[in-house]
């Protein structure tokens, strides 16, 4: 695998591990998210503005 691709892969893994996985339990347990809604709407319904802004900024 070319080093440039490996760098993106490692970045994606880090973002998932450090930013998304810690929020997964809260997101999945929330009765506010819906399968037919756009992802950003689900985030806004589930988390406070500070968390949503951080995730959107990634």
For 4-33, how does the pLDDT look when each residue is reduced to its tens digit (9 = 90+)? 999 999 999 999 999 999 999 999 899 887
What band does 36 get if pLDDT is binned at 50, 70 and 90?
A: confident
Phi, psi of 48 (to 5 degrees): -75, 165
Q: Residue 44: pLDDT above 90?
A: yes
Range of the domain at 24: 3-57
Chain-centroid distance, C-alpha 32: 16
Q: pTM for this one?
A: 0.73
Q: How many CB atoms lie within 10 A of CB 37?
A: 13
Alpha-carbon distance 20 to 57, whole Å? Answer: 13
Q: Which of 50, 12, 46, 14 is nearest to 30 (CA)?
A: 46
Q: How many domains does the chain have?
A: 1
């Amino acid at each position: 695998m070319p080093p440039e691709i490996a760098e993106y892969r490692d970045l994606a893994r880090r973002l998932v591990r450090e930013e998304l996985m810690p929020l997964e339990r809260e997101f999945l347990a929330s009765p506010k998210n819906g399968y037919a809604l756009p992802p950003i709407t689900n985030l806004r319904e589930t988390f406070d503005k500070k968390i949503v802004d951080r995730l959107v900024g990634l």
